[in-house]
């Protein structure tokens, strides 16, 4: 399958559907209202968004056109309900789908963060289990996950999904070099300091006269 190149709203909508299928299966598939609320959650979302139903519906339409979501209505469903087909299209196992979901909802993360934040969806035995699953996602054609370059001060590398294309990593700006006074100004400052010391010494000596 070709790279998806989803925008941030499509990623949030798809990730929210994947999460709710496992986290709250009794409410899945989701109505448009419930899906919008899931996209705008303040917990387990980075960044927090404030999408309206029109934006969510537009994303659903583009995802459906690409075979990634389903619009379910009729029968027992008196209102339109929405489901995802991500696992079906990519033939994911539970581990792969879980990690990709958490990356979609919370952005780049370390292996430790991914393990801790995946517990509601799947309990990884150890960090090695997370790493091996990330490796399988990175080895797909096209790759779905990438390891980001470690930034200064970071102890652990982070991983990011590639459903929106390559991840741009901004290099932290270097701190400005310390300002140094020109030589002439430093000499003037030293002369002034020396004059102050001489005055202080003279005052001190006079106190014994």
pLDDT by residue (tens digit) across 116-175? 999 999 999 999 999 999 999 999 999 999 999 998 888 999 999 999 999 876 554 455
Backbone angles phi, psi at 48, to 5 degrees: -70, 135
The mean pLDDT value for 50-66 works out to 98
Note whether residue 122 is domain-resident: yes
Tokens standing for residue 88 = 């079906």
Mean pLDDT value of segment 184-204: 74
Distance CA 98, CA 96 (A): 5
Looking at residue 74, which CATH number applies to its domain? Answer: 1.10.10.10
Number of separate domains in the chain: 1
For residue 39, is it within any domain? yes
The two three-digit tokens of residue 170, written as one number:
């901004």
Q: Does the residue 108 lie in any domain?
A: yes
Q: What is the pLDDT of residue 168?
A: 77
- Residue 201 inside a domain? The answer is no
Q: Predicted confidence band at 209 (pLDDT cuts at 50, 70, 90)?
A: low
In a domain, 130, yes or no: yes
Q: Sheet containing 77-84: give its strands across.
A: 30-31, 77-84, 69-74
Enter the pTM of the model.
0.78
pLDDT-derived band at 39 (thresholds 50, 70, 90) equals: very high
The reply to whether 136 falls in a domain is yes
Q: Is 203 contained in some domain?
A: no
Residue 190 included in any domain: no
Q: Residue 58 is part of which domain span?
A: 8-161
Strand partners, 69: 84
């Amino acid at each position: 399958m070709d790279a998806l190149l989803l925008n941030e709203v499509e990623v949030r909508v798809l990730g929210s559907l994947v999460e709710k299928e496992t986290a709250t299966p009794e409410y899945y598939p989701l109505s448009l209202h419930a899906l919008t609320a899931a996209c705008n959650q303040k917990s387990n979302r980075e960044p927090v968004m404030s999408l309206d139903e029109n934006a969510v519906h537009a994303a659903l339409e583009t995802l459906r056109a690409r075979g990634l979501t389903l619009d379910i209505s009729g029968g027992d469903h008196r209102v339109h309900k929405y489901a995802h087909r991500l696992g079906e299209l990519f033939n994911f196992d539970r581990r792969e789908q879980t990690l990709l979901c958490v990356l979609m909802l919370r952005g780049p993360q370390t292996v430790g963060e991914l393990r801790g934040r995946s517990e509601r969806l799947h309990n990884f035995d150890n960090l090695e289990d997370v790493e091996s699953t990330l490796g399988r996602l990175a080895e797909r054609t096209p790759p779905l996950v990438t390891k980001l370059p470690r930034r200064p001060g970071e102890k652990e590398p982070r991983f990011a999904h590639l459903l929106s294309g390559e991840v741009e990593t901004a290099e932290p700006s270097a701190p400005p070099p310390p300002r140094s006074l020109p030589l002439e100004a430093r000499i003037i400052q030293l002369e002034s300091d020396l004059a102050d010391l001489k005055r202080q010494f003279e005052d001190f000596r006079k106190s014994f006269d």
